[in-house]
């Protein structure tokens, strides 16, 4: 086992510099840095934020105009004949969006770029809502019917937009599946270790990682994940419908409790965030480009706007109009960043541990910094209670990501082949990779390179997806025009001038 892992780790050791290159390009070149203002930004920031701004203005701030309507759709009861409901698709996408990155990613962004990184998360997420609207509207327009379900997303609309070229869909499906497989081990580890943390709190003893408890928990995790994943998307939806509201509400209420017990720190929070956004503290490098980069980069990893990965559950919904699911996806970005990530931001910034406890802050890992901040805000006598709730949220965040990666890989695999044998093969491979990662983690091996791979996977998929969004934007404009001007008129392929089997006249 050790030899196998060492080989894999050696192969992946190149990932961090490659990831940094794609995220920082072309800021490493003097000619670029010499350009006023623009030289502060990497191509990744320009592509992500720039596209969000472009789509926002071209669509007339659709994320604002249709925000209330989207909330109404989420609360609407309707009979579903095929696929899943818009609300179920919202929960399914949120299961992937709201993950450990909402704690670890935000903490890492603030630790590297300062409190101002949170401001740029908000800004990029606001414009990212428009990007999410575009990609998920395309997912709905070009979705396909398979039995009593709908399948679609990036590999499907990419193929249609690129003159129905089979290799385009196959390539993008493969990229996503490979990316998901590399993210599974670390997320599996997060589930197991957070369960261990809760057990430690309940029992009052430190349970060794290499013990019967962790072995049993690991096996049960794989079994439960297999039962859910092999039950198809509708069983996954039932699970996400239960997990997502619970984990979101618990986390928000837990942080609100900490805020209420530290009201005197609220003015500092807003002052630090808004000042740090434009005049970063020298402690964090004092570079505007750094704080902005951290905000956008970690924001993307959390809300996934522009990445194309959340388009798969959007396509699975039985929506009345493609734009309807588009605005619901935009609401998902809002919930993830402006609500959940902000909760973590409150903890890290209000605690201000980098100044008051500098040595401990510097030496702690990213999650350690989060815990250090949380403990400093927790009222005396409530430490175990708060820690248990946070560990529970972290566990559910990671578990829904594990299930989501497997499910979304299955949807992507449908673009390659819908044969039962192939789909089951993808499921088994994903479970094996998750189990292997958990085994390596319990054995004490380092998985840090896999986190770097997640960064790399994010930006590669962005560079694949965003150009296709521009190519297909003309269809989104036509669909949106009807959606906003003639809301009660049935959407058909004729609206965009294409033959769409799913969107035919009755």
Domain count, the chain: 1
In a domain, 254, yes or no: yes
How far apart CA 370 and CA 97 sit, in angstroms, is 19
Q: How many of the other CB atoms lie within 10 Å of CB of 5?
A: 17
Render pLDDT for 87-97 as a digit per residue (tens, 0 to 9): 888 887 877 77
The answer to whether 468 and 162 have CB atoms below 8 angstroms apart is yes
Pick out the chain residues at pLDDT < 50.
Answer: 282-283, 285-286
pLDDT at position 6:
63
Render pLDDT for 233-246 as a digit per residue (tens, 0 to 9): 777 777 777 777 88
Instruction: Give the largest Cα separation in the chain, rounded.
Output: 68
In a domain, 11, yes or no: no
What are the two backbone dihedrals, phi and then psi, of residue 102, each rounded to the nearest 5 degrees? -70, -20
**Adjacent-strand bridge partners of 245:** none
Residue-number span of the structural domain to which 277 is assigned? 21-486
Map 369-427 to HEC letters.
Answer: HHHHHHHHHCCCCCHHHHHHHHHHHHHHHHHHHHHHHHHHHHHHHCCCCCCHHHHHHHH
In a domain, 279, yes or no: yes
pLDDT at position 300:
67
How far apart CA 401 and CA 399 sit, in angstroms, is 5
Check whether the bond before 35 is cis (ω within 30° of 0): no
In a domain, 478, yes or no: yes
Q: Specify the DSSP element, H or E, that contains 11.
A: helix 2-12
Tokens representing residue 403 in the block? 């299930």
CATH code of 122's domain: 1.20.1740
How far apart CA 379 and CA 2 sit, in angstroms, is 43
pLDDT at position 282:
44
pLDDT at position 341:
87
b/e sequence 346-373, b meaning 16+ C-beta within 10 Å = bbbbbbbbbeeeeeebeebebbebbbbb
How far apart CA 80 and CA 155 sit, in angstroms, is 25
């Amino acid at each position: 086992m050790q030899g196998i892992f060492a080989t894999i780790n050696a192969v992946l050791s190149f990932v961090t510099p490659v990831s940094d290159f794609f995220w920082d390009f072309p800021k490493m070149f003097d000619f670029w840095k010499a350009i006023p203002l623009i030289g502060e930004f990497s191509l990744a920031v320009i592509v992500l934020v720039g596209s969000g701004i472009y789509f926002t203005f071209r669509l007339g701030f659709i994320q604002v105009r249709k925000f209330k309507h989207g909330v109404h759709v989420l609360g609407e009861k309707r009979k579903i004949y095929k696929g899943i409901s818009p609300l179920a698709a919202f929960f399914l996408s949120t299961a992937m969006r709201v993950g450990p990155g909402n704690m670890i990613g935000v903490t890492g962004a603030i630790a590297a770029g300062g409190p101002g990184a949170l401001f740029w998360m908000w800004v990029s997420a606001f414009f990212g809502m428009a990007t999410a609207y575009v990609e998920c509207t395309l997912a709905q327009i070009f979705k396909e019917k398979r039995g009593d379900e709908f399948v679609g997303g990036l590999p499907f609309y990419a193929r249609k937009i690129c003159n129905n070229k089979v290799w385009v869909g196959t390539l993008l499906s493969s990229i996503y599946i490979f990316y998901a497989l590399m993210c599974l081990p670390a997320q599996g580890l997060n589930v197991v270790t957070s369960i261990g943390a809760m057990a430690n709190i309940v029992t009052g003893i430190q349970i060794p990682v290499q013990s019967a408890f962790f072995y049993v928990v690991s096996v049960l995790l794989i079994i439960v994940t297999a039962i859910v994943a092999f039950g198809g998307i509708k069983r996954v939806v039932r699970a996400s419908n239960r997990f997502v509201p619970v984990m979101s509400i618990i986390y928000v209420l837990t942080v609100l409790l900490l805020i209420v017990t530290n009201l005197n720190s609220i003015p500092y929070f807003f002052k630090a965030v808004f000042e740090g956004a434009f005049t970063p503290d020298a402690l964090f490098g004092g570079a505007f480009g750094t704080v902005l980069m951290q905000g956008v980069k970690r924001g993307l990893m959390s809300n996934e706007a522009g990445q194309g990965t959340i388009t798969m559950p959007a396509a699975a919904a039985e929506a009345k109009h493609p734009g309807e699911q588009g605005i619901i996806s935009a609401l998902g970005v809002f919930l993830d960043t402006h609500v959940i990530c902000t909760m973590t931001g409150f903890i890290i910034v209000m605690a201000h541990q980098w100044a008051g406890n500098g040595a401990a802050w510097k030496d702690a890992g990213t999650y350690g910094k989060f815990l250090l901040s949380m403990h400093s805000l927790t009222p005396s006598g409530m430490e175990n209670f708060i820690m248990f709730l946070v560990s529970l949220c972290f566990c559910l965040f990671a578990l829904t990501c594990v299930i989501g990666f497997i499910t979304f890989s299955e949807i992507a695999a449908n673009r390659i082949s819908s044969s039962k044998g192939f789909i089951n093969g993808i499921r088994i491979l994903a479970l094996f990779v998750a189990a292997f990662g958990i085994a390596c983690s319990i054995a004490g091996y380092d998985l840090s390179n896999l986190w770097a791979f997640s960064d790399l996977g994010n930006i590669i998929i962005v560079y694949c997806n965003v150009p296709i969004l521009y190519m297909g934007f003309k269809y989104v404009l036509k669909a949106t025009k009807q959606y906003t001007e003639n809301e009660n008129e049935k959407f058909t392929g004729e609206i965009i001038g294409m033959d769409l089997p799913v969107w035919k006249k009755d």
